[in-house]
Amino acid sequence: MKSFSSKIGVLLAAAGSAVGLGSIWKFPYIAGEDGGGAFIILYIICTMLFGMPLVMNEFMIGKLSGKSAYGAFRELSGSNRWQWFAWTIMLSVTILMSFYFVVTGWCIYYMVAAASNTFTGMDAAALTSFFNTFEGHAPLMIVYAIIAIVLTASVLWFDVNKGIERLSKILMPMLFLMLILLAIHMVFLDGGSVGLKFLFKPDFSKITPKVILEAMGMSFFTLSIGVGALITYGSYMPKDQKVTLTSVLMIAMVIVVSLLAGMIVFPAVFAYGFSPSEGPELTFVTLPDVFQHMICPSLTSVAFFALMCVAAITSTISMLEVIVAFVCEATADTKRPLNRHQSVIIVSLIQVVTNTLCILSMTGCVGWLKVMGSNLFDASNNLVTDVLIPIGALGTSLFTGWFVPKAKYQGSRLGTFLYMFVLRWLAPIAIIIIFLNSFNIL
């Protein structure tokens, strides 16, 4: 069946897509570094002002057309003029997955290591060297990225209501429960309040144009905007599903999870006298070290990394589904139509290749695999967050704002003046200004 069978299933699958490494891994340290409460306020403003209309818009494009990112633009505009944009989205999500599976592989590796008690007795130096050894070990990283790809593909093997929907209904409540338990555990640690202050104390002096850009980028990334995931899930919505309500609930979940993730990380870091480091180090070196000092170190580490795995896999599922649906639809009218199973296999194999290239480049195994001096991991990460997702967001808002005939969305919430104003003017202008600024043109 090419649709979800229940409203709650759609909501949990969409929340699964949105809640990922962005909320749990990136959000805490960026918020901590970039002004704490002030950054959080900015993030929430960007999410309400731009995120909300853009999420609704993508769901609507999918729901009204009933098509994946390949056919939706043609169906709604009645012409082929937007096909280049459909292909751009497909390229964006392919590049996004090329590094996302790598980090998902790290999470799986760390969960396995935690479960087999590897971290017990390791000090900071040992943990740093454990991480560096892993990060320099291309074959091991490739194996774990492939495990992540195979896990994702095995869910997509089933029809969406049996695979994605069923799994989201089990995993997402588990994820929320784990997050809440871990957050309670951390907040009540002696000295945990210093971490909460670090996270929430607003420091408005840190707010610069660059930080505004970062808040907007973070908002789009955590909401899964701009790469066709929400269009694809929108096309599986039951007819009577309310897009506005689904969007509001999905966004609320993302904000709550991001804040909970910060409440897990920082109280623990400060309670044990660590300093909040940036990036991968925080999650993969500092936290395992912090967990060693807690009452049940193994259980806490396993729970935390299991949570990261669940969050990451429910996101990779939505990314891979974009292309699986795209390929099925794009080949449907050709001499060689591909069915879902064939499409899953081909798309997964492509990801094995792109992730392997990414890993070979980041470990320095193949020296010439670089883009303008950066390894492929950093290059694709920056390209997706700074360029491709904003282009996706800009394109979808201009598309609905200017190119979809009114009759198509008559009667839906999109027809209201405020919505159209945001999609036609406010969002495009804001994205362009931020864009120009990030390339130092403004």
343 binds ligand PHE (CB under 6 A): no
String of contacts with ligand PHE for each residue 188-227, x by CB under 6 A: ---------------------------------xx-x--x
92 binds ligand PHE (CB under 6 A): no
Which one of 98, 104, 318, 351 is in contact with ligand PHE (CB under 6 A)? Answer: 318
String of contacts with ligand PHE for each residue 245-274, x by CB under 6 A: ------------------------------
From the list 15-23, 109-117, 347-355, 364-372, the region that binds ligand PHE by CB under 6 A is 15-23
If the CB atoms of residues 108 and 229 are measured against ligand PHE, the closer one turns out to be 229
90 binds ligand PHE (CB under 6 A): no
102 binds ligand PHE (CB under 6 A): no
23 binds ligand PHE (CB under 6 A): yes
163 binds ligand PHE (CB under 6 A): no
For 18-42, letters b (16+ CB in 10 Å) and e give bbbbbbbbbbbbbbbbbbbebbbeb
Which one of 72, 229, 307, 423 is in contact with ligand PHE (CB under 6 A)? Answer: 229
51 binds ligand PHE (CB under 6 A): no
Tell me the number of residues near ligand PHE by CB under 6 A. Answer: 14
385 binds ligand PHE (CB under 6 A): no
315 binds ligand PHE (CB under 6 A): yes
From the list 48-56, 111-119, 314-322, 407-415, the region that binds ligand PHE by CB under 6 A is 314-322
Interface contacts to ligand PHE, rule CB under 6 A: 17-18, 20-23, 221-222, 224, 227, 229, 315, 318-319
